[in-house]
Amino acid sequence: MRTHKKRPASVTCPECHSRFAVKPHGRVPKFCCQRCRQRAAEKRKWLRPAPLVAIAHDIESARSRAAIREEAWLLLKQMRLMGPKAHPCENVR
Ligand SMILES: [Zn+2]
């Protein structure tokens, strides 16, 4: 059984914030016009990070993780908790 939600008489366009009437039949539109629909799609498109930017971000975080690992190892060595043989990078890769 389909739950019957009350059909709104009018909705607000999320793009231009104008209120517009909804036709009595068919799908309830989200946008007031094709132009607003297209503009919202373009905005979503530009909000997505480009693939190269995402890869650069991954590389950067891998680099900083390695730097943190190195720093932590030096500290452990200074505190004499680790012997010189047990470098963490040898076990990781
Ligand atoms: Zn609109």
Query: pLDDT truncated to tens, each residue of the chain (93 aa)?
Result: 556 678 899 999 999 999 999 999 999 999 999 999 999 999 998 888 788 888 898 999 999 999 999 999 999 888 887 666 666 565 554
SS3 of residue 74 by DSSP: helix
Q: For residues 41-51, b (16+ Cβ closer than 10 Å) or e, as one string?
A: eeeeeeeeeee
For the entire predicted model, the pTM comes to: 0.47
Of the CA atoms within 13 Å of residue 17, those in its CB half-sphere come to 0
Give the Å distance between the CA of 43 and the centre of ligand 1: 14
- Cα 3 to middle of ligand 1, angstroms: 28
Query: Which stretch of DSSP H or E encloses residue 39?
Result: helix 34-47
52: tokens are 């190269």
